[in-house]
């Protein structure tokens, strides 16, 4: 599909899905800031922080997005003040190795 740089500089009406290309913004679901999860045995406060607290940055942020019709999760860099998506890419660009959550399972 022919979408030039001008489309990127407009407020969000289209988004470039790394899997499906340009799609209407209505097809995407916001999934929250990309924040590394605490270790499975981290103190409760750390988990509470991860679950509830937000950086809520006014500026460029890195977030999870879902292309709902294809159920595909990816990461987008977005300017929350200018309402523009700067870049979108598959999560394996950031998450290069699998995070194991079952290490130490069974301990309390």
Partner 1 sequence: MPWGLLKQGLRKSYLPRGLLPRRQALKDSYDVVIIGAGGHGLAAAYYLAKEHGITDIAVLDKGYLAGGNTARNTAIVRSNYLTPEGVSFYDESMKLWGGLSNELDFNIQLSNRGHLTLAHADSTLRTMRWRAEVNKHLDVDSDLVYPDDIRRLCPHLDLSEDVRWPILGALYHPPGSTARHDAVAWGYAHGASKRGVEIHEHTEVTGLQRDGQRVTAVETDRGTVRCGRVLQAVAGASSVVGDMAGLRLPIRTVPLQACVSIPLMPFLDPIIVSGTLHTYVWQTARGELVMGGSSDPYPGYTTRSTLDFKEGLIAHLLELFPFLAEVRLMRQWAGMTDMTPDFSPIMGKTHLDNYYIDAGWGTWGFKATPVCGRRMAETVATGRVPEILHAFDMGRFSRFDQVGERGAASVGH
**Binding residues for partner 1, per CB under 8 A?**
11, 25-26, 29-30, 44-45, 48-49, 52-58, 80-83
Q: Are 33 and 63 in contact (CB under 8 A)?
A: yes
Q: Regarding beta strands 14-17 and 72-79, do their DSSP bridges make them parallel or antiparallel, or are they unpaired?
A: unpaired
CB nearer to partner 1: give 48 or 99.
Answer: 48
CB nearer to partner 1: give 89 or 99.
Answer: 89
Least Å from the CB of residue 97 to partner 1: 29
Distance of CA 10 to the CA centre of its chain: 20
Question: DSSP per residue over 24-92, as a string?
Answer: EGGGEEEEEE--PPPPTT--HHHHHHHHH-----SSEEEEEEEEGGGTEEEEEEEETTTTEEEEEE-GG
CB nearer to partner 1: give 9 or 80.
Answer: 80
CB nearer to partner 1: give 45 or 100.
Answer: 45
């Amino acid at each position: 599909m022919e979408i030039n740089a001008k489309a990127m500089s407009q407020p969000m009406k289209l988004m470039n899905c790394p899997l499906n290309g340009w799609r209407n913004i209505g097809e995407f679901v916001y999934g929250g800031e990309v924040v590394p999860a605490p270790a499975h045995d981290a103190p409760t406060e750390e988990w509470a922080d991860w679950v509830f607290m937000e950086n809520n940055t006014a500026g460029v942020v890195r977030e999870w997005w879902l292309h709902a019709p294809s159920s595909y999760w990816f990461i987008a860099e977005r300017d929350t003040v200018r309402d523009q998506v700067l870049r979108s890419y598959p999560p394996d660009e950031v998450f290069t190795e699998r995070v194991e959550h079952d290490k130490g399972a069974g301990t309390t």
